[in-house]
Chain A
Amino acid sequence: MKIIVCIKQVPDAKDVRLDPKTNTLAREGVQSIMNPYDLHAVEEAVRLRELLGGEVTVLSMGPPQAEEVLRQAISCGADQAVLVSDRAFAGADTWATSYTLAKAVNVIGAFDLVLCGKQAIDGDTAQVGPGLAMRLQIPYVTCVQKVREATDSGLVLERMMDDGYDVLALDFPALLTVVKDLNEPRVPSLKGKMRAKKAEIRRLTAADIGADPACIGLPGSPTQVVKVFPPEARRKRAVFTGNLDDQIGQLVDSLHPYL
């Protein structure tokens, strides 16, 4: 069983600030973490390997410091890690990102399963998983909340829906995107941390994965960010007085126009 988990390094949501001049994310001095959904993808991959044998490869496209989240994944049980990193990838949107990841997956080689988080907490598009599946020409299931059965040939899954869940069976090779209900990620182990410290992270450049320069980074990204701005904050303060019933009446009246 060969599993590839795509992980993204994102700014810690607890720590996000906008640069008031440029209105873009102030990344300077902001803590980076593994995209929280991806932690669950790594956990599920490690559980499947514990059940069925095989190996788990974690893959990230990002700057050199994205090595940190790859090492974190190793400390939680992943076997090996690949970082695709190149200045030419800068400014990639979901289209270019999924192209790049697909090229990298092909270099890594044969696989049974690819796991992604449902969405990244910074870009938030939830497009990379499906985009990658499309490029790899494999079936995919989004928002997986439970793996019911796992064998060497495929999985039985629950897909989270607005009003319940679907039960789906699927054969390998396939791609899943996962939600947080799927599992509780383990705390890294001491041996895992030692291994992560020493692990060699495989580095791939644009040339290594045979990427077409026109399909990566800014040139390969049809999305153009024209303007980023924080929504205008319009806060009104109202103080209600009188007895409790009066106050509730005033509150209801004041909310009414917005309903």
Chain B
Amino acid sequence: MDYFLTEEQEMIVGIARQITDERIIPQRAELDENDAFPRAILNEMARADLFGIPIPEEFGGFGGGCFDIVLALEQLGRGCIGVGTAFAASSLGIYPLLIAGSREMCEKYLPDVASGKKFAAFGLTEANAGSDASGIQTTAVLDGDEWVLNGTKQWITNGGEAQIYTIVAITDRSKGARGASMLVVEEGDPGFSCGPKEKKMGIRSSSTTELIFKDCRIPKDRLIGRKGTGFITVMKTLDSSRPGIAALGLGLAQGALDEAATYAKQRVQFGKPIIAFQAVQHMLADMAIQLEAARALVYGAARHIDAHPKDISKVSSMCKVFATDMAMKVATDAVQVMGGYGYMREYPVEKMMRDAKILQIYEGTNQIQRNVVGQELNKEYGRA
């Protein structure tokens, strides 16, 4: 389907597609097998200016919107959502600065992220604070001109690989939801360290670690926005970034469909290519229909967000749920179409099926996204 992209959007797609086809696809199986961080590929993406897409021109970026980043992530996702996640998490890490950071902070951090000299990460989750962020235990206490941080973040993408971490800490427990703040921690800050890489089912090339703060002291001016606005910034950050996760789902599903359809034309059983069997054809048809429907929703949501409406939570959650549930289903069906071969590591759909699962979990589980949509409906229909 033609989505009438602008010339600039075509350029983004072209560059991301070339990196995916020439750099990511040839290496993805090895990166997965070895849990290897794709540093060289990310450097190439940086040189091609992809990290600059969401960063305003005045800070060395391209000044793109949600749709631009969606288009890039869709291509990268077609190759490997492990690499795509490492890329997306760096954008996630700087959204708090774009949303609430001071001009000085943006000037200090964004140009290096735009040029790919530095990576970023976003630290919200803790052992007792997953879907329920109010369980956060990490604290930041002002001591003279410094914040003193204590606590441990869990499962943070780009942990150990990033240089800039935007994290959420409780600055005033008595204030409840208004007692959390966001701060920037830099690699090398005293008292800050990262745990070992977690061993994961999928997206194994991305790095996931703990962030450990033991009397970690950082300058006072590392506070992002005003004190107590941490949760608001988190919500706005995730609202902006979720369409990107949806886009990884689109790409993954496209890759799985490509593999399954190509295979179904070649594989002969009972004297025919299996694509000639209606049961197989229908499975492929459903994969293609679901994928295109999801793409239309994600693109529509991204364009809606780029028009800067007041509230984007509902569309952002809707497109994340739909596209990532679709990706899981399409990846599973691709394995089914390919039978035993699909189950083998020699074929990429085995990895795609393992990888797809994370899309339904991180950046807010799909249950939580449905809660968001449901609560919005409750509000909307309550007004009538």
Hey, which bits of chain A sit against chain B, CB under 8 A?
186-194, 197
Contact = CB atoms under 8 A, between A and B. Distances in A.
Contact of B48 (A186, A194, A197): A186
B interface residue count range (under 10 / 10 to 19 / 20 to 34 / 35 or more): 10 to 19
B18 interface: yes
A189 B49 contact: yes
Interface pairs A-B: 7 shortest CB-CB: A190-B49, A189-B49, A193-B11, A189-B48, A187-B48, A187-B18, A187-B19
B22 interface: yes
Contacts of B52: 190
B156 interface: no
Contacts of B12: 190
B348 to A, nearest CB: 21
B49 A197 contact: no
B117 interface: no
B37 interface: no
Interface string B1-34: 0000001100110110011001100000000000
A191 B7 CA distance: 13
Nearest to A193: B11
B39 interface: no
Interface in B21-78: 22-23, 44, 47-50, 52-53, 62
A188 B49 CA distance: 9
A42 to B, nearest CB: 15
B15 A188 contact: yes
A189 to B, nearest CB: 5
Contacts of B18: 187-188
Given A194-B8, A197-B7, A187 B62 contact: no
Contact of A186 (B7, B11, B14, B47): B47
Most buried by A among B7, B11, B14, B44: B11
Q: Which of B48, B50, B52, B62 has the most CB of A within 10 A?
A: B48
A189 B15 contact: yes
Contacts of B23: 187
A194 B47 contact: no
A197 B10 CA distance: 13
A190 B53 CA distance: 9
Contact of A187 (B8, B22, B53): B22
A186 B44 contact: yes
B173 to A, nearest CB: 45
A190 B44 contact: no
Nearest to B8: A194
23 contacts: A186-B44, A186-B48, A187-B18, A187-B19, A187-B22, A187-B23, A187-B44, A187-B47, A188-B18, A188-B48, A189-B15, A189-B47, A189-B49, A190-B11, A190-B12, A190-B50, A190-B52, A190-B53, A190-B62, A192-B49, A193-B11, A194-B8, A194-B11
A122 to B, nearest CB: 23
A188 B22 CA distance: 12
A74 to B, nearest CB: 13
Contacts of B14: 193
B64 to A, nearest CB: 9
Interface string B230-247: 000000000000000000
Chain B CB within 10 A, most for which of A189, A190, A193: A190
Contacts of B48: 186-190
Nearest to B45: A187
Contacts of A193: 11, 14-15
A86 B79 CA distance: 44
